[in-house]
Amino acid sequence: MRVAERAEETAFLFRQTGWPGHRRRETVASAVRCMVAEINPLCNRNCPESGSRIPFSVILRAFPLGCGLVVACGQIRPAREGPMRGTMMDFPLTLPTILERSGKIFPRVEIVSRKPDRSILRTCYGEFYRRACRLAAALTKLGLRTGDRIASMMWNHAGHLEAFFGVPCAGGILHTLNLRLHPHEIAGIAKQAGDRFLLIDDVLLPLYEKFREDVSFERIIVVPYGCGTLPEGFLNYEELLAEADDNFQYPAIDENDGAAMCFTSGTTGHSKGVIYSHRALVLHSFCCGLNEVFGMSHMDTVLPVAPMFHANAWGLPYACTMLGARLVLPGPNVDPESVLGLLVSEHVTIACGVPTVWIAVLDALEKNPDRWKFDNPIRVVCGGTAPPLEMIRRLDRFNLQIKHLWGMTETTPVGTSGGLRPHMRDLSEEKKYEVRAKQGWPAPFVEIRLMRPEGSAGKSTEVPWDGVSSGEIEIRGPWVAASYHESPDQAHRWTADGWFRTGDVATMDDEGYVKIVDRAKDLVKSGGEWISSVDLENTLMGHPAVKEACVVGIPHPKWQERPLAAVVLKDGASATPQELRAFLAESFAKWQLPDAFVFLDAIPRTSVGKFKKIALREQFANWKWDS
């Protein structure tokens, strides 16, 4: 009470005498000094009840006039309670904001979907917004709870886009099932994810029947996409939307809540689940708009050839919706002629897909050079594996300009991207192609380091950015996974200081350009040296007779492993192992050259179109080497 009494006394004297300087100045000064002596200890000792310090602001609110006088007189300075905070709003980064934006800002922008019979369905963001909100309302009415996983088995079309937003905006997590996996794998992944409901295209019901007995979805919601019929006991997607409320109220969503879920493609072992937060998807969408990434805006027409069940079609459904880009969704028909037809008819400006897609497209273009014409360059974003340099060069002739990026399911997926920088304009054409064949530099807020094992103690050291030294890519950032879903046995994939071990081996130069050397498990370990299977493959695919090539390490009695090249020749072309070996010898040392060549009709692929090297290693595991 002494502080309160002293404050009142000081305030009274101040009201009576004005600013100290009057004849009672000494009296006021004395009162101030007494207050200082009594307030200072309070500001710097713990409160007996709570054990925490009493902030000066609390005292100031209690006795504003007297304490204010103390401060004004400069007798004491209140201790800062922590770093000064900004004055910006704490606004959540969540998908409902993107959904609202699309309906209000871009309602007339078109969404094009191709159906299984190749007919075209046209809608717009305004209609998409209303239907996504109705889906959210319908799912809530069916009992969707916050954090529930809703599985989808759907092709790339507007209905799937509605699920991309309707499910997370209702508080759920959309889990896109990879329909190209074996039925038993699909069932196992759905059970591991704990999926409650299933959204499925009617044309995919025959696939569902193959694992129906192995899963227990509470609700099956069938989307009328093709000509399929609705089985008894299943819910009709269109009827649910027709009966839903137009005035859906979003639940409380934290930006760190899960919004989407994907499982890895299994190229490095069993599939593992990654849950993307609202925050990660929003930030990743901003990243996609950058010129060094997709360079996308509302002026673009975007064709995601990459399936929406593979790393969310590389984040494009979210980014296009946020930026108002016109979307062209190809459905199940992604053969070269179908892709090229959409590129021309829909005036596409940006397309994305794995290298095998563009290898097939290039083959079709070269066979029919006058059939498809592109008046303006099309940005072709390529990822999954490193594109062959020769493919980049040959696609340029048709106005399809490859832009390479690197990423993974665990990175949402963009990790690096790039292209030529201004000071590179005067480089020779060959040097420019070498730069474009690299994977670019880390996206903003994504950090990368290259680590290489040192000794036998399990320690690693960071390799220099010299463009020569190689090491495993370790990565961290706001849209990089911090763990897998319910997979504690995979904790070793993260370092003690929080970096994700990708399993990809690369070099980085002094400007940050990443060049993938190989997957760590796909490097050929021969006589204590590493041989890049990727470099061998890309060079082989530059041979005029070679359509595709895949190189794997096969056990060898002397050298541990030696490279074997599996080759698919172009139609009507021929080549011998000796000819291909001589072609490679122009670019590689003798010890790096494959010791065996096999010619195949097709190279086995993973569910997302990558070369399935594990299948080749198994097929040729007992290869008989020449002595």
Task: Give the C-alpha distances (Å, rounded to integers) separating 193 from 176, 201, 487, 570.
Answer: 11, 20, 11, 42
Cβ-count burial of 436 within 10 angstroms (0-12 exposed, 13-18 middle, 19+ buried)?
buried
DSSP state at residue 53 = B
Q: Which candidate in 434, 530, 610, 625 is catalytic?
A: 530
Which H, E and C letters describe 82-147, residue by residue?
Answer: CCCCCCCCCCCCCHHHHHHHHHHHCCCCEEEEECCCCCEEEEEHHHHHHHHHHHHHHHHHCCCCCC
Gap between the terminal Cα atoms of the chain: 99
Cβ 200 vs Cβ 236: under 8 Å: no
Task: Give the C-alpha distances (Å, rounded to integers) separating 182 from 115, 149, 187, 413.
Answer: 24, 21, 9, 24
Q: Does the annotation count 410 as an active-site position?
A: yes
Angle at 425 between CA 419 and CA 429, to 5 degrees: 80
What lies within 8 Å, CB to CB, of 588 at 6+ separation is 535, 536, 539
Cβ 404 vs Cβ 513: under 8 Å: no
Q: Which candidate in 162, 255, 346, 410 is catalytic?
A: 410
Cβ 200 vs Cβ 221: under 8 Å: yes
Q: Which candidate in 115, 141, 432, 525 is catalytic?
A: 525
Cβ 432 vs Cβ 420: under 8 Å: yes
- Rounded to 5 degrees, φ, ψ at 392 are -60, -45
The Cα–Cα gap between 401 and 529 comes to: 35
State which H helix or E strand residue 263 sits in: strand 258-263
Q: Does the annotation count 495 as an active-site position?
A: no
Q: Which candidate in 264, 267, 356, 539 is catalytic?
A: 264
R_g of the chain computed on alpha carbons: 31
The Cα–Cα gap between 181 and 204 comes to: 13
The Cα–Cα gap between 216 and 207 comes to: 15
Q: Hunting for tokens 């070996």 — which residue is that?
A: 581
Q: Where are the alpha helices (DSSP H) in 150-200?
A: 158-169, 183-193
Q: Hunting for tokens 């990822």 — which residue is that?
A: 383
Angle at 251 between CA 247 and CA 256, to 5 degrees: 140
Q: Does the annotation count 191 as an active-site position?
A: no
What totals of helices (H) and strands (E) does the chain contain, helices first?
Answer: 20, 26
Q: Does the annotation count 525 as an active-site position?
A: yes
Of 325, 375, 389, the residue nearest 351 (C-alpha): 325
The encoded tokens of residue 149 equal 């996983």
Burial 507-522 (b: 16+ CB within 10 A, else e): bbeeeebbbbbbbbeb
Active site (catalytic) residues: 264, 410, 525, 530
